[in-house]
Amino acid sequence: MQRSVSPAHPQVRATLSPEMENRRLRARISELEREKADVESFAAVAAHELLAPLILADAYATAIADRLDGELHAESRRDLDALRQAAARTRLLVETLLHDARSHGRKLRRRPIDLSRVMSECLTLLAPEIERRRADVRLAQLPEVYAEKALISVVFTNLLLNALRYGPRDHGTILVDATPDDASWRFSVQSQGAPIPVEDRVRIFEPYHRGRGERRARGAGLGLAICQQIVERHGGHIGVTVAPNGDNRFYFTLPAY
């Protein structure tokens, strides 16, 4: 029994007309615009949730200072001033990140910045936590780099806060160093604490990832992910290693110019 065979037809590749291509392009643009609007909406809500307690903290500190004017000890007034400065500084950082999220893809506002001054501002912001833990923060001579100051401040603040939170509860030592690395600078923040396992040293920079242990469960898990995004936008790289003495050493690079 013979089976009939259809004559071979040359394979025809389907092509879309220019009108169909334009429709697909317009649909894709609309989809991207919706996604962008969703990201901006989320960023606005997140910023509002972060800013609200900062505004309240500043308001309460001001109210206490006004109500007890003349009765406060010098140390108490100093603490209230530090609280207000910390709230104002953190508010500025949140607003900077919100602006950056809304302006994704914009060019960085690079300027020559003195990292010694940036570090001084970061330490002022974190002074209450440093004093509470009686931590010893040791700084190397920091260079001038060509970067966006507010964003680099976020990186140093997050890495220092990370070192404070996950280091010893009392009398820990944090080392901040800077070394030239070809056409870049390599910065490191080294602190004591349980060494980060090898399998976590990449995942730790993922959004919402939290390290192991009860003390590491605090926070939203965004700090290191934000640091990675900022460093990579500047053309650098960020990572973590364990020093020979067992300390965790977070490092990142920035172009020298």
Tens digit of pLDDT for each residue in 162-202? Answer: 899 888 888 999 999 999 988 899 999 999 988 888 888 88
Domain boundary among 53, 72, 102: 102
- The mean pLDDT of the chain is 80
85 is in which domain, residue-wise?
19-102
Spatial distance between the Cα atoms of 199 and 38, rounded to a whole number of angstroms: 33
pLDDT digits (tens, 9 = 90+) for 211-242: 554 344 445 567 788 889 889 989 999 999 99
Check if the beta carbon of residue 165 is closer than 8 Å to that of residue 215. yes
Domain boundary among 59, 83, 102: 102
Spatial distance between the Cα atoms of 105 and 149, rounded to a whole number of angstroms: 17
Kindly tell me the number of DSSP H helices and DSSP E strands found in the chain: 6, 7
Residues of the chain with pLDDT > 90: what percent?
A: 27
Using DSSP's 3-state secondary structure scheme, residue 4 falls into coil
> Do 77 and 124 sit in the same domain of this protein?
no
Check if the beta carbon of residue 223 is closer than 8 Å to that of residue 162. yes
> Do 96 and 53 sit in the same domain of this protein?
yes
Domain boundary among 54, 81, 102: 102
What pLDDT does residue 41 have? 62
What pLDDT does residue 5 have? 47
What pLDDT does residue 155 have? 92
In a domain, 5, yes or no: no
The list of the chain residues with pLDDT below 70 reads 1-15, 36-50, 52, 89, 92-93, 95-106, 208-221
What pLDDT does residue 210 have? 59
pTM: 0.67
- Calculated CA dihedral for residues 76, 81, 85, 88, nearest 10 degrees: 110
Among the residues of the chain, which ranges form H helices? 18-67, 74-102, 115-125, 127-133, 149-166, 223-233
Spatial distance between the Cα atoms of 41 and 37, rounded to a whole number of angstroms: 6
